[in-house]
Structure 1
């Protein structure tokens, strides 16, 4: 590392705030160009960056940006994600309605969720935030931030969209899947019911993260009854509407569909992101892992929707997902044992996202 660059990294810990500000502003670009400069002296620069998150808002903004960029490195990820005191500071700051860097904090949390140990957030508690209306469970606070903070309505500086990516990664863990499908005592609402409404939001990040959260939560087969129950999560309208276009259907097909899908305008557009469409189709496939799920989807004409999606979405992954779904839905019950146990056949297994 050039001497001048090494000195610049050292200045982020300087007691003079003006020098810290100049140094860190000039170092942001190097967090992607030359990230190794922050890994010297046993990651001492990273430790300084964590401290600077509590500094002047402009300095904190640059520190967070650098940490977000560096968290792709496994050593840095471990250093940051295993620092419980730092995580507590991030969680306290993100819920402050006046926090200017709340979106960057959301992005950092989403990146830190790549560290498996962050699943401990499932039981973490902190003092309730008066304006938020949540209890002391951190996950409830984050979900309410995501819902109530949409489009700057809670904090004018933030939309909290990237929390959707945090939820998606956390939902890979069984204990957090259980959280998302369990009614919470403080407001009597199932968390997945709060976020499912964003499957057709204008934000690509929010839609993609919510779609992935729903899919990962759906790996919990015993909860499928709640997923499909109209008085439970009632997830089907929220994953079918984004994949439906304006194509005409036969009258019999239309009349069998869910009411929300029967009177759509001819200019209805399906989601513009094929990755999101693929995720929704894969969620439908997961929900066919029980006999009840397959029977329900046959009865409400899900097959024609998948047929039209296969025809009109020019994407190999989407078409492959549609093919796999149709193979399951239209086949005879070849494996009654799998249906009774609720297990997904090996040839139909799909990956968490």
Structure 2
């Protein structure tokens, strides 16, 4: 839009995005802007305008539920733009917006908790925004107003917490927050038992989003080499949780079977592998991360991970997963490096190879985010049709 059209809209339409405006004209104006958020150009126009973002945020607390819902849906789309998410997180007129959104999600009677969880999920996709939200969560003190990591997980794990919401997107909020090392360390606090509460959701059949988010949390936690012994030990026993979704109905001879973790022995003939390739890839990459240390590799080899990967390799059709499997198998069958090179993460990697690995990781993350975004857009369309 040219400058004159922009100025005209700010004068003629922006006043209707106001809580004091008549409900009918307010609703029409908001629906117009909601439609604009469906395109990149529309989102950029709103973000560059003088007051649109603040007006939309203000309408999330409108007394008319339909208007509040449309405002929330607008923010879901707007938060897919990193710069816009960063701007909204730092708006001076709404300094407590992040905390308010978190409080809304964990309240057991919130009407639009799923939409707000989607806002926070999109908002925390980038590292800097995740750090900003993590600071709010980490600053929590023991009072009814704070939203700690414990409270988020408690809300997520209680499936009937809110009869009006499924809260699947809380999983992707947790995945995004565990980009931040301080959150990972809290997640793996040996006294709090937080990570252990999330483990059952690696095979949550009712929601791909919930599975993907929690497996993303586990993968992020596996980047912390100092915690590998604890993750693989009896307190967490993470390896069976990562392997089971990758296992099929194949039968093994007695010797191979006995070496497998108990949960992977004598699986039923109708056992199905994880259907989503992005999730399978995250599982494989998490196991690969756990192979960074000599002790981790020994544990993973001793648990006969190779035979599960071998059969998965025969079955796999996705190219990205196939590459990830091959890399893991290479680690499992390779000779151990010389003494003093126990931690593969501490080995010097040529700059050219490091750039290639970084590019591949960024591509993988983008594919996962696009897959989740498509799932989110589908659910939002369905929700809009039902409303």
Instruction: State the TM-score, normalizing by the size of structure 1.
Output: 0.89
TM-aligned CA distance change 1:137 to 1:155, over 3 Å: closer
Contact 1:338 1:345 in 2 (8 A): no
Q: Is the counterpart of residue 20 in structure 1 residue 18 in structure 2?
A: no
Q: Is the counterpart of residue 139 in structure 1 residue 154 in structure 2?
A: no
How many residues are paired up?
339
CA distance in 2, matches of 1:45, 1:206: 32
CA distance in 2, matches of 1:344, 1:29: 51
Shift of 1:272: 0.3
Classify the secondary structure of the residue corresponding to 1:51: helix
User: Who is 1:272 aligned against?
Assistant: 275
Shift of 1:247: 1.6
Q: Is the counterpart of residue 60 in structure 1 residue 60 in structure 2?
A: no
TM-aligned CA distance change 1:344 to 1:12, over 3 Å: farther
User: Who is 2:225 aligned against?
Assistant: 221
TM-aligned CA distance change 1:295 to 1:220, over 3 Å: same
TM-aligned CA distance change 1:22 to 1:298, over 3 Å: same
User: Who is 2:313 aligned against?
Assistant: 310
CA distance in 2, matches of 1:137, 1:52: 23
CA distance in 2, matches of 1:137, 1:90: 10
TM-aligned CA distance change 1:342 to 1:225, over 3 Å: farther
Contact 2:98 2:133 in 1 (8 A): no
CA distance in 2, matches of 1:275, 1:336: 35
Shift of 1:103: 0.6
What root-mean-square deviation, in Å, do the aligned CA atoms of Structure 1 and Structure 2 show? Answer: 2.3
Classify the secondary structure of the residue corresponding to 1:336: coil
| 1:30-64 deviation digits (Å, cap 9, x = unpaired) | 1113223423444x110111111211322121111
Contact 1:168 1:216 in 2 (8 A): yes
User: Who is 1:343 aligned against?
Assistant: 346
Give the 5 Å matches for 1:162-201: 162-184=169-191, 189-201=192-204
Contact 1:199 1:242 in 2 (8 A): yes
Contact 1:221 1:343 in 2 (8 A): no
User: Who is 1:132 aligned against?
Assistant: none
Structure 2 residue runs without a partner (length 5+): 366-387
TM-aligned CA distance change 1:223 to 1:324, over 3 Å: same
Contact 1:57 1:101 in 2 (8 A): no
CA distance in 1, matches of 2:347, 2:280: 21
Classify the secondary structure of the residue corresponding to 1:140: helix
Contact 1:171 1:213 in 2 (8 A): yes
CA distance in 1, matches of 2:105, 2:99: 10
| 1:100-158 deviation digits (Å, cap 9, x = unpaired) | 110111111111112243331341326655xxxxx95521111111111x3xx011111
CA distance in 2, matches of 1:256, 1:345: 33
TM-aligned CA distance change 1:286 to 1:340, over 3 Å: closer
CA distance in 2, matches of 1:99, 1:176: 26
Shift of 1:14: 5.3
TM-aligned CA distance change 1:125 to 1:254, over 3 Å: same
Shift of 1:340: 5.2
User: Who is 2:369 aligned against?
Assistant: none
CA distance in 1, matches of 2:171, 2:109: 21
CA distance in 1, matches of 2:25, 2:107: 28
TM-aligned CA distance change 1:13 to 1:338, over 3 Å: farther
Q: Is the counterpart of residue 261 in structure 1 residue 264 in structure 2?
A: yes
TM-aligned CA distance change 1:258 to 1:88, over 3 Å: same
Q: Which one of 145, 150, 165 corresponds to residue 158 of structure 1?
A: 165
Contact 1:110 1:163 in 2 (8 A): yes
User: Who is 2:90 aligned against?
Assistant: 82
CA distance in 2, matches of 1:343, 1:242: 30
